[in-house]
Amino acid sequence: MITIGELSARSGMATSALRYYEREGLIRAERTGGNQRRFPRSELRRVAFIRAAQNVGLTLEEIREALATLPDGRTPTRADWERLSRVWRHRLEERIAELERLRDKLTSCIGCGCLSLQRCKLYNPGDRAARAGAGARYLLGDTPQPMAAAEREDDASIS
């Protein structure tokens, strides 16, 4: 059993983050008589798992769900890791493909300059989920509405 300070030093996460993870049910601790946390060493691997998953772009909510697929909240084994990391790679590849599509659109738009609300490929509201620094809003499907057909009478084209 290790203290929160030790877990923090060994994992590189701030103690405040570890307390937050515990509140959120991502890691687990027992308590001393004086109410201090004592973590099993196995939680070290859970923290490593959480952090690797974050690097791949998962939210804590998704990570919690992934961990919940492990029986009894056990620490991930090699088999668990293999199963889950395959899913993650798939997600990463989708995201890369998405950004590549966006890049290609941008490339084809550079000489154009129209910024047409109807015709510009870059303007597509469906693409907003691709934003790099996106607020969670856009990852959760709260996309803005496209322009109604009745309103296409004028547009923002330059030429």
Per CB under 8 A, contacts with a second copy among 67-126 are 76-79, 81-82, 85-86, 88-89, 92-93, 95-96, 99-100, 102-103, 106-107, 109-111, 113, 115-117, 120, 122-125
Q: For residue 99, what is the DSSP state?
A: H
Encoded tokens for 27 = 């890691």
- Residues 51-70 touching DNA, rule: CB under 7 A, are 54, 59-61
Tokens of 5: 């300070």
Nearest to 27 by CA among 6, 5, 4: 4
- Report the phi/psi class of residue 32: left, alpha or beta, with left for phi > 0 and alpha for psi in -120 to 50: beta
Q: Cβ of residue 35: shortest distance to a second copy, in angstroms?
A: 25
Q: Could you tell me what percentage of the chain is helix, strand and coil, using 3-state DSSP and rounding each to the nearest 5?
A: 60, 5, 40
Count the residues of the shown chain that bind DNA, applying the rule CB under 7 A. Answer: 29
Binding mask 66-105 toward DNA (x if CB under 7 A, else -) reads ----------------------------------------
CA 126 to chain centre: 18
Which lies closer to a second copy via its Cβ, residue 65 or residue 93? 93
Rounded CA-CA distance 79/106 in Å is 41
CB of 48 to DNA, least distance (A): 13
Binding site for DNA (CB under 7 A): 3-6, 8, 14-17, 19-21, 29, 32-37, 54, 59-61, 133, 135-137, 140, 144
